[in-house]
Amino acid sequence: MTSIPLLLLVGVAVAAFVGFNIGGSNTGVAFGPAVGSGAVSKIGAGVLMTVFAFLGGWTVGRRVVTTLGSNLVVGDPFTLPVSIGVLFFIGGALFVSNVFGVPASTSMTAVGAIVGLGLARDALATDLVLEIVSWWIVAPLVAFWVSGVVGRYAYDAIDERLALGSAEGSMLAVDRSGTVPTPRLDDDTTRREATGVVLVVGIACFMAFSAGASNVANAVAPLVGSGQLSMNAGILLAAGTIGVGALTIARRTLDTMGEGLTELPLAAALVVAVVSASLVTALSAIGIPASFVVIATMSTVGLGWGRATRAEGELLVEADDVVEGMTEPDVAVDDLYRPWATLRVVVLQNAVPAVATVGAYLLFSVW
């Protein structure tokens, strides 16, 4: 019986830690609206997250694993100790972001750590790095403007058509009368609510797919690049540990996201989800490590900005046509778009990957 080297076990453990944390944080982002509206239970969200994150990693995510594990640095730099060092930077970024309460991008941090390695070894694939960085600039801007247009011109219609509020408990029940338990809608759920359930859960699954496509590489790309794990084994490891995180620590983020739906209405959450997941999946398909966190943040800001400009326009119209007993809109402009808060989040989201780049460069320069 062949023994597994202790150092490889350490590497697998660190990769599992990264995947576990990815599952914990991404499940809340993907399924928070679905759980908060009662469309699915926490356990159901964890199971769906596991399945669709695996599908995203197994299909589209392979290209991102190849980019991070083989193409960013010329030659064969990923020895097992180096792989563990890079993974520690990624896991450290997750820890720091949780401590400060700012969602850092694991994709940007992973690229930053590998870029630091490439600079230290004078083996960086500069053209590829510039291509990735250019997409990091373009994609959030696209998310901002698309969401801004939706917020200004289409949000009210979407909100009115969706009209799905929170329910007491899950709208889905399990029919155990047959040989195999099957999900079904609760008896009290109306047809309109049923349509809303399908829409909300479907979009959440799409987000889980995009999370798997972009984040599987962050957990295992260095180990796959070093040849210590095969591509299939790496994806299975990452998807499995993401699933463990989704079924355990994600319960807290699901609670947070569900309670936070008063600040981000369900319709707004779904707009952000569709825009962000579409961009992330498209970039992953061409092998670009994409930051769901940054893209979703800019989508949220863009949607709020679009709604705020519409609210400002309504205020100006009312100011020119004074009517006795006139009242202001229900939502204040400052509640929709906060420039300084936005600046703080964006700066911190980019600071963590920068620290990872500098730290990795210093470490691997002397290693």
pLDDT digits (tens, 9 = 90+) for 33-59: 788 777 788 899 999 999 999 999 999
Looking at the predicted structure, is the pLDDT value of residue 73 above 80?
Answer: yes
Q: CA 136, 138, 143, 148 torsion: positive or negative?
A: positive
60: DSSP letter: T
**In this prediction, what percent of the chain has a pLDDT beyond 90?**
38
pLDDT digits (tens, 9 = 90+) for 133-176: 999 999 999 999 999 999 999 988 888 777 655 445 555 555 66
Dump the DSSP string for 103-160: ---HHHHHHHHHHHHHHHTT-B-HHHHHHHHHHHHHHHHHHHHHHHHHHHHTHHHHHH
Strand-pairing partners, residue 183, are: 174
Spell out the residues 6+ positions from residue 339 whose beta carbon is closer than 8 angstroms to its own.
none
Instruction: pLDDT band for 350, please (50, 70, 90 cuts).
Output: confident
Distance CA 136, CA 116 (A): 18
Spell out the residues 6+ positions from residue 24 whose beta carbon is closer than 8 angstroms to its own.
245, 246, 248, 249, 250, 252, 253
What's the burial of 185, exposed, middle or buried (CB within 10 Å: 0-12/13-18/19+)? middle
Claim: this prediction has a pTM higher than 0.85 = no
Dump the DSSP string for 271-338: HHHHHHHHHHHHHHHTT----HHHHHHHHHHHHHHHHHHHHHHHHHHHHHS--TT----SS-HHHH--
| Angle at which helices 231-247 and 42-58 cross, to 10° | 170
Spell out the residues 6+ positions from residue 30 whose beta carbon is closer than 8 angstroms to its own.
45, 49, 204, 207, 208, 211, 273
